[in-house]
Structure 1
Amino acid sequence: MRTGSRIGSLLVLVWLVIGAIAAAQRGYFSGGDTSCASAATIAVTILAGPLNYVGVNPQIECELPQPSQ
């Protein structure tokens, strides 16, 4: 059972590394201000992993509520 969990952990790690590479190739890590939408897009791109290379291009739109005055 331990071998199965090691293989599973390795697969998840490789999946996330591929997603991070895809996000870097799209220029998501290169400076600028970070908004809710850009942070969410980076996270979803990393979670999509290798699916980025078969046409998945996740984009997230979000707006944070403004504080009352």
Structure 2
Amino acid sequence: MQTASTNICERMGRSKELSEFKLGTVIGCHLCNKSIREISFPLNIPRSTVSGIITKWKQLGTTATQPQSERG
């Protein structure tokens, strides 16, 4: 049984990372010249997330999560 707070967390930002399969699917669709809207709707991923994945892939050449810098 899910509580109300769990259900809210699922709907609101930064709840979990996308799987490697979904990341690869986004890039594959992008390489097949699909628009961001055509990619986001069937995968149920926000357009801003799809855009961010594509931008990160173009800049870094990877979709892997980068380590965060530690606080000093």
With structure 2 as the length reference, what TM-score do the two structures score?
0.27
Of structures 1 and 2, the one with the larger relative CO (CA 8 A, separation 6+) is: 1
Name the larger-Rg structure: 1
